[in-house]
Structure 1
Amino acid sequence: MDRVIKKKKWTAKKLLTIGGVAALVLLLVASYYFTSGKSRLNVDTERITISEIKKGPFQVSIPVNGTVLPIKSIYLDAQEGGRVEEKYVEDGAIMKAGDPILRLSNTDLQLSMVSQETNVYNLLTQMQISRNAAQQNTVTKLNQMADVNSAYKEAERIYNLNKHLYEQKAIGLQEFKKAENDYNYQVERKKLTERILTQDSVSNAQQVAQAKQSYEGSENMLNVMRKKVGDLIVRAPVDGQLTSLDAEIGENKNKGGRLGQIDVLSGFKVRVDVDEHYLSRVYTGLMGDFSFADSTYKLKITKVYSALANGRFQVDMQFVGAIPKGIRRGQTLQIRLALSDETQAILLPRGGFFQQTGGNWIFKVSEDGKTAYKVDIQLGGQNPDFYEVLQGLKVGDKVVTSSYETYGTMQELVLKK
C-alpha cells in the first residue's frame, strides 16, 4: 500500500539559494555604501588624538635654540710678533686685569729700542752742548755790551764837557767836533750792540726750543718702543677666565695673530639662531622665556645680527631678572621667542594633522562622537603649543589632531572604541 510523502517546505537547496541572494544583496548594498557618497574609514579612538577647541591667552612665538655665552669676551691678539718664550698660565685660568699670560721675544724690536735709546741720549747730550754754547755766547755778548756802555758813557761825558767849553770859547771847534763825532759813533755802536744782543737772545731761544722739541719727539718715540717691547708680555686686559689659549713654547706668532680670549664672568648672554623667514619680525626688545630646573626665566633681545649664514641669522639675548643658578658657558637652551603681544584667541592644539592638511581643513568629531568629518578651517598665528583659529571652528568643538598620514582621501572617519 502506497504511503503519501509530504513535500518539505524548506529544502537545503532553497535555503542555499535564499542565502546566496541575501549575500548578493548585502554585497551590493555594501558596495553602494562604500563607493557612493562619502568615503569612510574605521579608526580606533585609542590610536588617535582628539582635542577640544578652547579659548585662552595666545601669543605668537617660535621655538629656537640658544647657546649660553659670557656677557663679554675680549680677544687677545699679539700686539707684536715674536717667538713664545714662556707661558705663565694655562687655558681656563682665572685672571685679574694685568696678570701676565705669556712672554714673546723679538730680537729686531729689542735692537730697535736700544738704537732709539742711544739716539735719545745723543740728542740729549747735543742739546746740553748747544745750550752751554748758547749760554757762553750770551755771556760774551753781555761783556761786549758792558764795554760798549762804558765807552758810550765816556764819550757822552767828554762831548758834554767839550760842548760847554766850546760855548765858553775855551776850546776850538776842531776839538769840539772830534768829541761830538766820538759821541755819535758810540751812540750808533750802542744801538747796534743792543740789536745784536736782542737777535742773539731770540736765536738762542729758538735753538733751545728746537733742540727741546727734537729731544721730546725722540723721547716719545723711545716710550713707544718701550711699550712695544712691553707688549711682548701678553697680559689680561680685564678680570675674567682665560679661554681658547692657542700658544705653545717655541711657536712663532705673527703680529695681530689671535692668541686666545678673556671671558668676563660677571654675567651671561645667550646667542640664538633664528630662521631667515623671521628676519623682518625680529628686532631688539622682543622677549623670550625658557624652563630650567623647574623654573621659567625670561630673556630679551639686545642685538640682532642681520648677516645670513645657511639660511639663518643670530641674535643676542640677555637675562631679565634672575639668572638660573648652575648655568654654564656653552650650555644649550630651548627658548620660546615671542613675536607678538598676548591676546585672547580660539585655540587649536598642535598636532600631526598639519603635515597633511597644511592647516586648511581638519576632521571634526560629530556631536554623538561616532564619526569625524572634514571641515574647512582658517588658521592664524602659531606657537609651540597652539594654532590660532580664525574660521571654521568654535569653542567646544572636538577635532582629530593626530597624524592623517594613513587616511588617504577619506572624507569621514568612523570612530570605534
Structure 2
Amino acid sequence: MDRVIEKKKWGKKRILTLAGVLGIATLAVASYLATTGKSQLNVDVERITISEIKKGPFLEFIPVNGVVLPITTIYLDALEGGRVEEKYVEDGTVMKKGEPILRLSNTDLELSLVNQETSVYNLLTQMQISQNNARQNTIGKLNQMTDADNDLKEAERVYNLNKHLYSEKAIGLQEFKQSENSYNYLREKQRLSRQILNEDSLSVKQEFDQARQSYGRTQNALNVMRKKVGDLIVRSPVDGQLTSLDAEIGQSKNKGERLGQIDVLSGFKVRADIDEHYISRIYTGLVGTFTFANKQYKLKIKKIYTQVTNGRFQVDMEFEGEVPTNVRRGQTLQIGLALSEETTAILLPKGGFYQQTGGNWIFKLSEDGKTAYKVDIQLGMQSPDFYQVTNGLKEGDKVITSSYENYGKMQELILKK
C-alpha cells in the first residue's frame, strides 16, 4: 500500500536563499546608515581643552611691537663734501650746541675762498682809488666855481660903474658895452659852472652807490664762501646725544651724505609697526598699554605714517602720564593697542579650533558632558585672549577650544574619561 509523503515547506535550499537575501538587506541598511547618519569619534577628555563661555568686559585691542626712540632726532648731513681729517668726539657723546664733532678738508673750496677774498680786496682798493679821484675832481670843480663867482662879482662892479658913468656921459658907448658883455659872459659862465658842479655831485653819488652795492654783493659772496669753509667743521646743532656717527679719519664724504644724528634727550616716543589690515581703524588719539618692570604704562598715538611697506605701516606714540625711568633708546616694547571702547560681551577663549573652523562653527558639549556636537556660531571683534560671540552660544555653554586637526569631518564626539 502506497504511503503519502508530505512535502516540506522550508527546504534547505530555500533557507539558504532567504538568509542570503536578509544578509544583503542588512548590508544595504548598514551602508545607508553609515552614509546618512551622524559620524562619531571617541575622544579622550584629557587630550582636549574644554572652555566655558562667559559674559564680561571686552576691549578689542591688537598686540604691536614698538621701539623706543628720542622724541626729537636731528640728522647730521655733510653740508660740504671733503675728506675726514679729525674727529673730536666718539659715538654716544653728549653734546652741547655748537661743539665740534669732526673736521673735513676740501682744497678746492679753500682755494675758492682765497680767490674770493682777493676779489673783495681788489674791489675795495679800486673803490678807494675811484673815491679819491672823484674827490679831487670835485675839489677842482669847486675851485672853478669859486673863480667864476669872483670874476662875476668884479665884472658886475665894473658894469654897474660904467652904467652910471655912461648915463652921466662920462664914458663912451664902446666902453660901456664892453663891460656889459663881460658881465653877461661871466654870469653865464657861473651858471654853467654851478650846473656842472651839481651834475658832477649826482654822478659821483650814483657811482659811489653802485660801487657800494657791488662791494656789498662781493662781500656777501665772501661771507657765504667763508661759511661754506666753516661748514667743513661739523658742529652739533642742538644739545643732545650723538648717535650713529659714521665717519672715519681719511674717509671721503660727499655733500649731503648722512654723517650721524643728534638725539634730543628731553623725552622719548615709541614707533610701532602695525599690519595694514588695521590702517582704516587707526587714528590719532588711540591708547595703548604696556607693562614694564611689573608696572603698566600708557601710550597715545600722535602721528600716523600712511605709507605701507611690506604689508605694514608705522605710528608714533607718546607717553601719557608717567614715563618709565629705565627705558632706553632702541628698546622694544610689547604694546596692546585698543581699537574700541570697553563693552560687555559673550566671551569665547581663543584656541586652536579657529584654524580648522575659521570661527564659523565649534564643538559644543551636551548638558551631561558626555558628547560634543557641531554648532554654527558667529564671531565679532577679538582681543589677544578672547573672541566676541555675536550668535550661536550663550553664557555657561561649554565648548572644545583645542585643535580640531584630527577630527576630520566628524559630526559628534564621544567624550571618554
Q: Same fold (TM over 0.5)?
A: yes
Measure, in 2, the Cα distance between the counterparts of 1:138 and 1:185. 23
- One-letter code of the match for 1:201? S
Measure, in 1, the Cα distance between the counterparts of 2:334 and 2:365. 34
* SS across alignment from 2:300: strand
| Matched residue, 1:199 | 199
Name the count of aligned residue pairs: 391
Measure, in 2, the Cα distance between the counterparts of 1:221 and 1:368. 94
Measure, in 2, the Cα distance between the counterparts of 1:290 and 1:413. 41
Q: Which deviations, in whole Å up to 9, do the C-alpha atoms of 1:349-388 show, x marking residues without a partner? A: 2111111111111112222222222111111111212111
Q: Which deviations, in whole Å up to 9, do the C-alpha atoms of 1:12-33 show, x marking residues without a partner? A: xxxxxxxxxxxxxxxxx99999
* SS across alignment from 1:274: strand
Q: Which deviations, in whole Å up to 9, do the C-alpha atoms of 1:226-277 show, x marking residues without a partner? A: 1111111111111222122111111111111121111222212222111122
| Matched residue, 2:173 | 173
| Matched residue, 1:357 | 357
Whether 1:296 and 2:296 are equivalent positions in the alignment is yes
Measure, in 2, the Cα distance between the counterparts of 1:100 and 1:329. 24
| Matched residue, 2:236 | 236
| Matched residue, 1:19 | none
Runs of 5+ unmatched residues, structure 1: 1-28
| Matched residue, 1:262 | 262
| Matched residue, 1:343 | 343
* SS across alignment from 2:116: helix
Q: Are the equivalent residues in 2 in contact too, given 1:34–1:40 (CA < 8 A)?
A: no
Measure, in 1, the Cα distance between the counterparts of 2:168 and 2:49. 147
- One-letter code of the match for 2:366? S
Alignment of 1:208-287 (within 5 A): 208-287=208-287
Identical-pair percentage:
74
Alignment of 1:174-189 (within 5 A): 174-189=174-189
Q: Structure 1's 30 and 332: CA in aligned 2 closer, same or farther, altered over 3 A? A: farther
| Matched residue, 1:25 | none
Q: Structure 1's 184 and 414: CA in aligned 2 closer, same or farther, altered over 3 A? A: same
Measure, in 2, the Cα distance between the counterparts of 1:59 and 1:170. 130
* SS across alignment from 1:249: coil
| Matched residue, 2:18 | none
- One-letter code of the match for 2:99? D
Whether 1:97 and 2:132 are equivalent positions in the alignment is no
Measure, in 2, the Cα distance between the counterparts of 1:415 and 1:323. 52
| Matched residue, 1:110 | 110
* SS across alignment from 1:403: coil
- One-letter code of the match for 2:56? G
What is the CA distance between 1:42 and its match in structure 2?
Answer: 2.6
| Matched residue, 1:52 | 52
Point out the more displaced range, 281-290 or 384-393. 281-290
| Matched residue, 1:88 | 88
Measure, in 2, the Cα distance between the counterparts of 1:305 and 1:224. 37
| Matched residue, 1:387 | 387
| Matched residue, 1:408 | 408
What is the CA distance between 1:142 and its match in structure 2?
Answer: 0.9
Measure, in 2, the Cα distance between the counterparts of 1:303 and 1:153. 88
What is the CA distance between 1:141 and its match in structure 2?
Answer: 1.0
Measure, in 1, the Cα distance between the counterparts of 2:159 and 2:256. 83
| Matched residue, 1:7 | none
* SS across alignment from 2:283: coil
| Matched residue, 2:17 | none
| Matched residue, 2:5 | none
- One-letter code of the match for 1:128? Q
Alignment of 1:372-383 (within 5 A): 372-383=372-383
| Matched residue, 2:333 | 333
* SS across alignment from 2:55: strand
Q: Are the equivalent residues in 2 in contact too, given 1:301–1:317 (CA < 8 A)?
A: yes
Measure, in 2, the Cα distance between the counterparts of 1:169 and 1:55. 142
Measure, in 2, the Cα distance between the counterparts of 1:296 and 1:233. 45
Q: Which deviations, in whole Å up to 9, do the C-alpha atoms of 1:204-234 show, x marking residues without a partner? A: 1111111111111111111111111111111
| Matched residue, 1:72 | 72
Q: Structure 1's 411 and 385: CA in aligned 2 closer, same or farther, altered over 3 A? A: same
Whether 1:149 and 2:160 are equivalent positions in the alignment is no
Q: Which deviations, in whole Å up to 9, do the C-alpha atoms of 1:47-100 show, x marking residues without a partner? A: 322222222222322211111122122221111111111111111222111111
Measure, in 1, the Cα distance between the counterparts of 2:45 and 2:135. 113
- One-letter code of the match for 1:118? T
Measure, in 1, the Cα distance between the counterparts of 2:36 and 2:206. 115
- One-letter code of the match for 1:42? N
* SS across alignment from 2:215: helix
* SS across alignment from 1:299: strand
- One-letter code of the match for 1:166? Y
| Matched residue, 2:160 | 160
Measure, in 1, the Cα distance between the counterparts of 2:123 and 2:224. 17
Measure, in 1, the Cα distance between the counterparts of 2:54 and 2:159. 128
* SS across alignment from 1:288: strand
* SS across alignment from 1:227: helix
Runs of 5+ unmatched residues, structure 2: 1-28
Measure, in 2, the Cα distance between the counterparts of 1:413 and 1:145. 128
* SS across alignment from 1:213: helix
- One-letter code of the match for 1:197? L
Q: RMSD between aligned alpha carbons?
A: 2.2
* SS across alignment from 1:114: helix
Measure, in 2, the Cα distance between the counterparts of 1:359 and 1:249. 62
What is the CA distance between 1:301 and its match in structure 2?
Answer: 1.7
